[in-house]
Structure 1
Amino acid sequence: MRNVRRRPRVLLVSHYYPPHLGGIENVVRNEALHLARHGADVTVLTSGDRAGTHDEDGVRVVRVAASNVVERRSGVPFPLFSPALLPTALRWARHADVVHVHDCLYASSWAAGLAAAVTRTPTVVTQHVGLVAHPSALVRAVQHVVYAVAGRPQLRRARRVLTLNADVAAFVRKLGARAEARHHLANGVDTSLFRPPADPAERAAARARLGLPAGRTLVLFAGRLVPKKGYGLLLDAHAGDAGDSGDSGDSGNALDTREAHDCAYDLVFAGDGDSAALTGRSGVHHLGALSAEDLADAYRACDIFALPSTAEGFPLTVQEAMASGLPVVTTDDPGYAPYGLDRGVALLVPRTVPALRAALDALVADPGGRAEMGTAARAFAEASFGWDRHVTALLGHYRDVGRG
C-alpha cells in the first residue's frame, strides 16, 4: 500500500463461498488462498446458513446469516442476508486497506460498497458478467434496476474495475466506470488441480469413479443447466435430428425427443439446474454439481469440452478445461478478443446446432487433432491463467489504490 505494510489487509466480498458450489465462489476462494500465501491478511465476507467467523487455511471467513430461498425456488443465486450484513461490513471495511467486491449485483456488494464509502476505504470491483439473458422477464427487469440503482454508483466510485473479457468491459463502461479505473485481469486457474491425466490408466480410473463408460468418446459440459449456457443446443446437436434451421437460440427442439441417434460420442453434464431435460436420454450422463476436486476428475475423464454459452466471454470452466488439456468447442463470442485465441487452441463456432454438431463430429473423428489441440490448450492456460500471475497483478492494483 502507499505506506507499505508487511501484510496488506484485504476484504474480499462474495455473495457465496464454498462449500456453496459455483464459479464466482471458487474464484474468490482461490484468490483468497493465494493472496494469503503471498503474505496478505485476507478476510472474506460472505453468506452462510448461520453467522460466524472462522479460519480456513489462513483466510478469515466471516459469514453473515442468509436465506437461499430465492435460489431454491427460482434457480437465481441471490442470498437474502440478515440485517447484520451492514454492521458486519462496516467492521471489516475499517480493518481493511482495500475492499475487493466480486460482482456488484448482490446485497453483500452493496453493503460492502456503502461500508467502504463510510470508512473511506478504497474499493476494487471485479465484474464477472454483464446482463444475463435470463428467460424470465422479471429477472431481466430486476437486473436492469439493480445495476442502475446500486451497480452504477459502485462502479463509478471504484478505484479499480477489473473485467475478464471485452463484453464485460463494455458493460462497465456503459455503467460509468472511469477509463483510468478499468483494467483487464483474467481469472486464475489452479493448473496443479486442473491438469491432464498422467496416462490412460488415470483417465480410466477417473471414469470408473464417476460411473462413466470406458469405451466411448466423452464430451463434457460443465455449468448450470440454464438456457444461457446452451445445454439445449448441445442436446440438439447430439440428437442429430433437430435444430437444423440454424436458429441461434436455445430452441430445445430435441428436449422432447428422449432417444438420441446412434451418435459417435456420449454427453456428460456436470452441474445442477433443469436435470429433467436430461432424463431418459441415450448416451447422456448427468453427474450433478461437483466439488472442484471431482470436477477436475471429470475433465480428466473426458475427451472434449463443449460450452455453447452466450454473453459470458471467457468462462472459468473453459479455462479449467484448457488447463486440463481438453480441446474446447465454445461460442464465437467477442469477449474472447483480448486473449488472442486461434483455432489451434480452441474452436470458436457460431451458436447454432449445425455449427456445434460439425465441430464436435470433426473432433470426435480426429483423435490426433484432439491431442494436438489439448496440448496447445494446456500450454496456453499455463502461460495465461496461473494463480501466481493473477495474484501478482492483483497485489499491484491493491498497492496502487490502497491506503496506508
Structure 2
Amino acid sequence: MSDDARGPLKVLLVCHYYPPHLGGIENVVHAEARHLTAAGVQVTVLTSGERSGVTDEDGVRVVRVRAWNGLERKAGVPFPILGPKLLRRALRWTRWADVVHIHDAFYLTSWAALTAAKATRTPVVATQHVALVHHDSAAVALVQKAVYATAGRLLMRGAQSVFTMNSDVAAFVRGLGARPERVHHLPNGVDTELFRPARDAAEQAAERERLGLPPEGVLVLFVGRFVPKKGFDLLLAADDPGYRLVFAGGPAEALTGARDSVIYLGSLAPAEVAAAYRACDVFALPSTSEGFPLTVQEAMSSGIAVLTTDDSGYAAYDLDRDRVSLVDRDTEMLRVRLREMAVDSELRRQMGKYAREYAVERFAWPDHASMLIETYRSASRPGGSSADRG
C-alpha cells in the first residue's frame, strides 16, 4: 500500500505510558507521534491511563486504557496493569492501522497489540529500547527473563523491522530471534530548538534564578526516575564540596536523608527540564543497561558537559571520549571525574561545544521520522512480507 494509492499512511504506536506520564520511552513516542503527524501520517497511540478514553492531542489520536500503576509507586517498577478493555481496543485499532509499531516487548500493551496484529494480519514494526536491566529483586529479574523469552521472542521473530539504539540491544534482539537483516540502528531524536545551549552567562544566571538554584558554583544535574538502574544513588554518594548536585525527577522520597547541599527540583515538564540543562554545567547519569538514554541526548543538545556510564553499547555512536566522559559505575571514580570537570571551565566549554554539534548532526527528529515512514511503507506494501502476516 502507498499513501498515494489509498490515502495517508495509518500507524498505531503502542507504548505502556504516554505523556503526561514522565519517562524516556513515552517522550520518544510522543515526539515520534508529533513528527509523523507533521509529515502527513495518521497516528493513533495505544497506551495506559488513569481512565479509559480517546482524545485528540495536537492531531494525534490517543487511546488510553485504564490501568493500575501501583508497581511503579510501590516498587519503582514501571509496569502498568491494564484493564480488560485492552485487547478489544488493540483489535479495534490494529484493524484500522496499516502498520503497528510496538515500543519494547516487556509490557501488557505490547502483548495485546502483538496478539491483535497477528489476528488482523497487520504488519508489525518494533523498537526495543533496552536489553535485560539489572534489578536488585530476584523476582523482578526472573519475571523479566521469562517475559523476554516468551513475548519478547514472539515479537522479535515476527516484526518486519526491529529498531535498536545501541549495539548491546541489537545483540539482545538477535538473541531473541530477530533476523539480522531486519535489525536497524536508529537513534532517538531530540528537539534541538527546545534543548539548546544558554545564549550567554546572563541567560544561564536568569535560568538559575527562575529555578531557585544558587547563582554561583558548578551545578551537576541528574534527570530521571530515582531508581537504582539510573544510578541516582551512586551520584548521591559522590556528593562533594567541589560541586552541587541537582536532581530532577522522582519520587522525592528516594532523596530522604540526602545532604543539605543536594538540590531537588521535583518532576519537571520538558520545557522546565530544558531550562534546567541551560542552568547547570554538567549532566551526570551513571545508569546501567540503558544504552543511549534520551536524557543524555537532551543534555548534549543543550550544550553542557556530559558524564555517563562507559557502556559497550555506545560503540555504534563513535563518541569522542575526550569530549563525552564515559566512566565506570563507581562512586569514587564519579567523584574524581566530576571534581576534574568542576575545576576546568575550558574543558566543560569544549565538551559542551562538541556535544551540541554532535546532537544537531546526529539526532534530528525529521531524519528519525523519515526513516520510520520509509520502513512503514515497506512493511505495509502488499505482498512485501507475506510470510510474517500469516
Structure 2 length-normalised TM: 0.94
Ranges in structure 1 where 5+ consecutive residues have no aligned partner: 240-262
TM-superposed deviation, 1:79? 0.9
For the 8 Å contact 2:226–2:254, the answer to whether it is kept is no
Change (3 A) 1:204 1:278: farther
Matches within 5 A, 1:114-263: 114-239=115-240, 263=241
For the 8 Å contact 1:345–1:380, the answer to whether it is kept is no
TM-superposed deviation, 1:2? 4.9
What SS does the aligned partner of 1:21 have?
coil
Q: Which residue of 1 aligns with 2:388?
A: none
For the 8 Å contact 1:36–1:58, the answer to whether it is kept is yes
Letter in 2 for 1:359: R
Letter in 2 for 1:39: G
TM-superposed deviation, 1:147? 1.1
Q: Which residue of 2 aligns with 1:92?
A: 93
- The 10-residue stretch of structure 1 (219-228 or 375-384) with the greater mean CA deviation from structure 2: 219-228
Letter in 2 for 1:42: V
- The 10-residue stretch of structure 1 (385-394 or 204-213) with the greater mean CA deviation from structure 2: 204-213
For residues 67 and 221 of structure 1, the distance between their equivalents in structure 2, rounded to whole angstroms, comes to 28
Change (3 A) 1:287 1:62: same
Matched, 1:31 2:32: yes
TM-superposed deviation, 1:267? 0.3
Q: Which residue of 1 aligns with 2:328?
A: 350
Letter in 2 for 1:149: T
For residues 178 and 332 of structure 1, the distance between their equivalents in structure 2, rounded to whole angstroms, comes to 28
Report Cα offsets for 1:262-313 as digits up to 9, x if no partner.
Answer: x121000111136444545132111122111111111111000111111111
For residues 152 and 254 of structure 2, the distance between their equivalents in structure 1, rounded to whole angstroms, comes to 35
- The 10-residue stretch of structure 1 (266-275 or 116-125) with the greater mean CA deviation from structure 2: 266-275
For residues 106 and 29 of structure 1, the distance between their equivalents in structure 2, rounded to whole angstroms, comes to 17
Change (3 A) 1:3 1:378: closer
For the 8 Å contact 2:304–2:352, the answer to whether it is kept is yes
What SS does the aligned partner of 1:206 have?
helix
Letter in 1 for 2:146: V
For the 8 Å contact 2:55–2:62, the answer to whether it is kept is yes
For residues 160 and 20 of structure 1, the distance between their equivalents in structure 2, rounded to whole angstroms, comes to 27
Report Cα offsets for 1:101-120 as digits up to 9, x if no partner.
Answer: 01110000000001111111
Structure 1 length-normalised TM: 0.91
TM-superposed deviation, 1:350? 2.1
Matched, 1:307 2:285: yes
What SS does the aligned partner of 2:90 have?
helix
Report Cα offsets for 1:164-188 as digits up to 9, x if no partner.
Answer: 1111111111111111211110001
Matches within 5 A, 1:1-150: 1-2=1-2, 4=4, 5-150=6-151
TM-superposed deviation, 1:329? 0.8
Change (3 A) 1:280 1:354: closer
Report Cα offsets for 1:16-75 as digits up to 9, x if no partner.
Answer: 100111111111001000000001000001111111111111111111111112222212
Letter in 2 for 1:272: G
Matched, 1:393 2:371: yes
What SS does the aligned partner of 2:225 have?
coil
Ranges in structure 2 where 5+ consecutive residues have no aligned partner: 383-390
**What is the number of equivalent residue pairs in this alignment?**
381
For residues 53 and 153 of structure 2, the distance between their equivalents in structure 1, rounded to whole angstroms, comes to 31
For the 8 Å contact 1:163–1:183, the answer to whether it is kept is yes
Letter in 2 for 1:185: L
For residues 104 and 60 of structure 1, the distance between their equivalents in structure 2, rounded to whole angstroms, comes to 22
For residues 300 and 221 of structure 1, the distance between their equivalents in structure 2, rounded to whole angstroms, comes to 13
Letter in 1 for 2:288: T
For the 8 Å contact 1:331–1:351, the answer to whether it is kept is yes
Letter in 2 for 1:266: R
1:292 aligned residue (262, 265, 270): 270
What SS does the aligned partner of 1:112 have?
helix
For the 8 Å contact 1:218–1:304, the answer to whether it is kept is yes
For the 8 Å contact 1:265–1:283, the answer to whether it is kept is no
Report Cα offsets for 1:333-354 as digits up to 9, x if no partner.
Answer: 1110000001243111222223
For residues 311 and 273 of structure 1, the distance between their equivalents in structure 2, rounded to whole angstroms, comes to 21
User: Cα RMSD between the aligned structures?
Assistant: 1.4
Q: Which residue of 2 aligns with 1:360?
A: 338
Q: Which residue of 2 aligns with 1:247?
A: none
Change (3 A) 1:41 1:360: same
Matched, 1:371 2:349: yes
For residues 255 and 83 of structure 2, the distance between their equivalents in structure 1, rounded to whole angstroms, comes to 35
TM-superposed deviation, 1:3? 7.0
Letter in 2 for 1:113: L
- The 10-residue stretch of structure 1 (67-76 or 388-397) with the greater mean CA deviation from structure 2: 67-76
For residues 78 and 295 of structure 2, the distance between their equivalents in structure 1, rounded to whole angstroms, comes to 18
